[in-house]
Amino acid sequence: MPADQNKAIVRRLFDEMCNGRKLNVAGELFSSNHIYHDPQQPDPGPGPEGMKQVIAAYQTSFTDAHWDVVETIAAEKDTVVTRWIGSGKNDIGLMGMPATGKRVKV
């Protein structure tokens, strides 16, 4: 797939799935054999369902969560590297840590 199409997929991830809270678009964005790698989170499982779990966990813990794409650093063939900032108020515990009630930005 051309780099421009892959960049559009990444943009949809942030705009529709993360910020728009449309978790069902995961089936259009992720292949069934997609693997999510994050040392901070347990394995959510493969494919769109796994990604729904990952995004939903943050949307639940940070009820006003918002992801801002700062820049696309690189896009070549099937790889897109994006720098983004996530922010929101930590209302509910996440990954075994209690809620802080504070706003965070990472």
DSSP collapsed to 3 states, 19-38? HCCCHHHHHHHCCCCCCCCC
Tell me what pLDDT residue 8 has.
Answer: 93
Tell me what pLDDT residue 7 has.
Answer: 92
The 3-state DSSP class for residue 96 equals coil
Tell me what pLDDT residue 13 has.
Answer: 96
Tell me what pLDDT residue 1 has.
Answer: 80
Check: CB of residue 78 under 8 Å from CB of residue 6. yes
- Percent of the chain as helix, strand, coil, to the nearest 5: 35, 25, 35
**Domains annotated on the chain, with CATH:** 3-105 (3.10.450.50)
Tell me what pLDDT residue 39 has.
Answer: 84
Tell me what pLDDT residue 2 has.
Answer: 86
The pLDDT tens digits of the residues spanning 47-102 come to 999 999 999 999 999 989 999 999 988 999 888 999 999 999 999 999 889 999 99
pTM value > 0.85: yes
